[in-house]
Structure 1
Amino acid sequence: MTPSRNSSAPATPTRPDEVTSLLRHAPLTRFLVARIGSITAQQMLMLAISWHMYDLTSSTWDLGLVGLFQFVPGLATTLIAGHCADRLHRGRMVAACLGLQAIAAAMLSASTLSHSVTRDTLLALSLALGAIRPFQMAGQQALLPMLVPPKLLSRSMALSTSVQQISVIAGPALGGALFAVNVVTVYLSSAALFCISAVMYAFVRYDYTPPPREPVTADTIFAGLHFIWRNPLLLGAISLDLFAVLFGGATALLPVYARLILHVGPQGLGLLRAAPAVGALCVGLLLARRAIVSGVGKKLLIAVAIYGAAIVGFGLSRWFPLSLCLLAISGGADTISVIVRQTLIQLETPDRMRGRVAAVNTLFIGASNQLGEFESGVSATALSVIGSVVAGGCATILVSIIWSRIFRPLAKRNALH
């Protein structure tokens, strides 16, 4: 059933007992627990790779390359991943991706123990992780709407985002603590969590009917891209994330801030990476109980501008507690953006297209995160670390203003439904 596109009709507020009812859906609960494990493992793994790279090379350029090497293979695999998500069992597809990431973490552990890990090793495995992740993300995004009734999707999205942020908090904090032992412990712990989560995803149950067999053509592969291009609201929502985080992301430079600017070491780096998730968790839990029911387009754009302002403040800060606070604000603002955008995308897309639309969304998210890390490394080399972060935050504010002008259907959207 295609959702109504009437943006003027306000959504009916959901009773508080409907929030509790989310966890009564066993497939959703299993999905959320598996999501906690997989994202915690990914956060630990990326924390270890970024610190390991900087420890080996002391180069912001190489930190940027880690992001670039995760992004580039996604250009080749993302649209294929979307086609697979619309043809295969989505839970088992995600499980296979997590199993491959467990193997990558185990390989890093073995090469570190044998003292054979090099800059090229880290870049090669970053390339492999970048090729795998689009399949995981397309499967996850297309799976969630199958687990709950449509009326609970917005709150389910908020709860899923909150779970993600719990993992983003736990992953870097746990990874930073495990660094006190050694980096091998971080890699092995990541591999174990990937395996546990893979098993849980494999047993997520939903009504799955294999689609009719049809030939794989350019039209079927690019169908999601064509669908988004013809829908200005979806195009505006997805491209907003691309450009806002592309310029405003500072994740790749956090090891430099931890070591040279704030002087807090790897444990402090774990807290810096976790701080945005603390703010995101608070906002996500609030929205899981009380959804945004009006003015969603305007609030989305305001949230993006707040995110950019918080990044500017972080770039200028020299005081560790203030830096943590500003990163938390950025995470809270970003969560509003994520929940509004992802809910709109799911409600505006028929299920037969969700995998391919999710794949395009994954490509844009990958560009904003991984390519954003490369952009941060390059601009830090050209402008200095602080100049790069401040300029990026200012660019994000400018993006929110421009998008409010050129994507009117998004800016004027009143209700999610």
Structure 2
Amino acid sequence: MDETEQQDQPKLSPTTALSPTVAWQSRDFRFYSAARVLGIMGAEAQAVGVAWQVYQITHSALALGNTGLALFLPGLFFVLPAGHVADRYDRRAIIITCYSLQAVATSLLLWLALHHSTNIWLVYAILFLIGTGRCFSGPAASALVPTLVPEAHFVNAVTWGATVYQVANATGPMIGGLLFTVAIGKLFGGRLAMLNGAPLVYCFTLICLTCFLAFISVVRPRGAGAPKAFTVKTMLAGLQYVASTRLLLGSISLDLFAVLLGGAVSLMPIFASQILHSGASGLGLLRAMPSIGALVVSMTLLLLPIRRRAGRTMLSCVAVFGAATVVFGLSRNIWLSCVALLVIGASDMASVVVRSSILQLATPNEMRGRVSSVNWLFIGASNELGEYESGLTAHWWGAVRAVVIGGIASLTVTGLWSVFFPALRQADELTAESLVEVESRFTSMEPID
């Protein structure tokens, strides 16, 4: 569907019945989603390869933790410039450039693995390079999605995007693990034996990245950014816009504090071994539950999308997230714990769909890159700092108390946010017009360049 055809599409309300697959009618969304599946699968498989390679070199848990830090640090340094770039230049070109950089970085990891290098600092440097590419491509990709489908199809596109992410996020590590077990030398001859282990995983990632670049290169987004001068004012405009828009500030900060305080994923090994006494197999089962819950909800939302009371739905889902976290912390039965984690994943997915829709629909196209970069920083902080917070509080109080207190804190935050952010509570339909109307009741927005 070209730009003229999309502009001719009628403005539809969320209350209008739409096909569960309506987003796939847009050619560009199909190519973008195919690229995204391959990109995520390759990245997740590569994460398995990097973890194994680093552990073989160091045999250190701290070194494994440093790999995540190396990927996260670029976000602290470059998040605001990345958002500015996404709003000032062709977002598709930014994505292509960043993923080309990641392909180079993966080639370097492959070279290190083939030459059996033990220089761990080179690995960290390459991961920092990959993290830099992700830092710039993330806001550009997030801001690109609304330009691929008609506005009436956007919520459906967000829901499908979340589904695609969950499928690829679960499949990638599994493929990476399987590739480690393939004796490529025995299958195809001794000359290929050098590809056993991490090198084979990196080859798979390179294939995925090549296909990603091929698919994304044929996407034709509408409303590409126009180059403008770089100033500190324009770079900080994303933070200013989020701070002055109650809907955005409420939804992003709610997710930040709920996940930061209520995250229990990093403590699952302790629960599996010391509390539930289920061993490694139980840990695998526990880790799978949130993804299964998220997938079930994402498929349900495709058939029964959120049409009204979107803000209340998000607040309710975060409250359920907190309550389920408390149940998980108190449980001494593996099956009750699995149900609690299933609910955690399901409620989180529903709130993600609402938050992602508000993020893009309540933000003008010329601001989406900078606002998305702020959102990326908040999400990164909630995930990375959430793991640190969970470990620290578990060290202080024990794993059970840490999870239970975190769940109660998430419930408390939800109650406070429903009072502090009435615009979020009163958000109804997930359309730009409805969200702007709700926002205008509580704030007087000034135009931001």
**What TM-score do you get using the length of structure 1 for normalisation?**
0.85
C-alpha displacement at 1:34, in angstroms? 0.9
- Go from structure 1 to structure 2 and tell me whether the alpha carbon gap of 1:270 and 1:205 turns closer, same or farther (over 3 Å shift): farther
Range moving further from structure 2, 66-75 or 399-408: 66-75
Matches for 1:371-386 after TM superposition, within 5 Å: 371-384=385-398
How far apart, CA to CA, are the structure 1 residues paired with 2:110 and 2:132? 20
Q: Which residue of 1 aligns with 2:381?
A: 367
Contact 1:296–1:340 (Cα < 8 Å) also in 2: yes
How far apart, CA to CA, are the structure 2 residues paired with 1:118 and 1:380? 33
Q: Which residue of 2 aligns with 1:356?
A: 370
Unaligned runs of 5+ in 2: 1-11, 183-196, 432-449
**Does 2:308 correspond to 1:306?**
no
Matches for 1:105-254 after TM superposition, within 5 Å: 105-117=106-118, 120-181=121-182, 182-209=197-224, 211=226, 213-253=227-267
C-alpha displacement at 1:333, in angstroms? 1.0
C-alpha displacement at 1:38, in angstroms? 1.1
- Go from structure 1 to structure 2 and tell me whether the alpha carbon gap of 1:171 and 1:91 turns closer, same or farther (over 3 Å shift): same
How far apart, CA to CA, are the structure 2 residues paired with 1:370 and 1:105? 23
Amino acid at match of 2:291: A
Contact 1:173–1:270 (Cα < 8 Å) also in 2: no
**What TM-score do you get using the length of structure 2 for normalisation?**
0.79
> Which residue, 399, 410, 416 being the options, matches 2:424?
410
Which has the higher Rg, Structure 1 or Structure 2? Answer: 2
Matches for 1:246-285 after TM superposition, within 5 Å: 246-253=260-267, 262-264=278-280, 273-285=287-299
Q: Which residue of 1 aligns with 2:98?
A: 97
How far apart, CA to CA, are the structure 2 residues paired with 1:218 and 1:231? 20
Q: Aligned Cα RMSD in Å?
A: 3.0
Contact 1:346–1:354 (Cα < 8 Å) also in 2: yes
Q: Which residue of 2 aligns with 1:400?
A: 414
How far apart, CA to CA, are the structure 1 residues paired with 2:26 and 2:206? 28
Amino acid at match of 1:180: T
- Go from structure 1 to structure 2 and tell me whether the alpha carbon gap of 1:376 and 1:66 turns closer, same or farther (over 3 Å shift): farther
C-alpha displacement at 1:100, in angstroms? 2.5
CA deviation map 1:263-299 (0-9, x unaligned) = 327xx76665544222212211221232212222222
How far apart, CA to CA, are the structure 2 residues paired with 1:396 and 1:307? 8
Q: Which residue of 2 aligns with 1:15?
A: 17
Matches for 1:71-86 after TM superposition, within 5 Å: 71-86=72-87
Matches for 1:45-64 after TM superposition, within 5 Å: 45-50=46-51, 56-57=58-59, 59=61, 62=63, 64=65
C-alpha displacement at 1:147, in angstroms? 0.8
How far apart, CA to CA, are the structure 2 residues paired with 1:253 and 1:120? 28
How far apart, CA to CA, are the structure 2 residues paired with 1:58 and 1:257? 22
How far apart, CA to CA, are the structure 2 residues paired with 1:254 and 1:47? 19
Range moving further from structure 2, 143-152 or 173-182: 173-182
**Does 2:345 correspond to 1:331?**
yes
Q: Which residue of 2 aligns with 1:7?
A: none
C-alpha displacement at 1:401, in angstroms? 2.3
Range moving further from structure 2, 401-410 or 228-237: 401-410
Amino acid at match of 1:285: M
Amino acid at match of 2:222: D
Amino acid at match of 2:161: S
- Go from structure 1 to structure 2 and tell me whether the alpha carbon gap of 1:135 and 1:198 turns closer, same or farther (over 3 Å shift): same
Q: Match of 1:145, SS? A: helix
Contact 1:64–1:377 (Cα < 8 Å) also in 2: no
How far apart, CA to CA, are the structure 1 residues paired with 2:306 and 2:358? 12
Identity in percent: 38
C-alpha displacement at 1:259, in angstroms? 7.6
How far apart, CA to CA, are the structure 2 residues paired with 1:177 and 1:254? 23
How far apart, CA to CA, are the structure 2 residues paired with 1:81 and 1:28? 23
Contact 1:234–1:344 (Cα < 8 Å) also in 2: yes
CA deviation map 1:304-344 (0-9, x unaligned) = 12223334444566766655544332221111111101111
- Go from structure 1 to structure 2 and tell me whether the alpha carbon gap of 1:326 and 1:191 turns closer, same or farther (over 3 Å shift): farther
Amino acid at match of 2:371: V
How far apart, CA to CA, are the structure 1 residues paired with 2:125 and 2:312? 42
- Go from structure 1 to structure 2 and tell me whether the alpha carbon gap of 1:274 and 1:358 turns closer, same or farther (over 3 Å shift): same
Amino acid at match of 1:95: I
How far apart, CA to CA, are the structure 1 residues paired with 2:422 and 2:135? 30
Aligned residues: 403
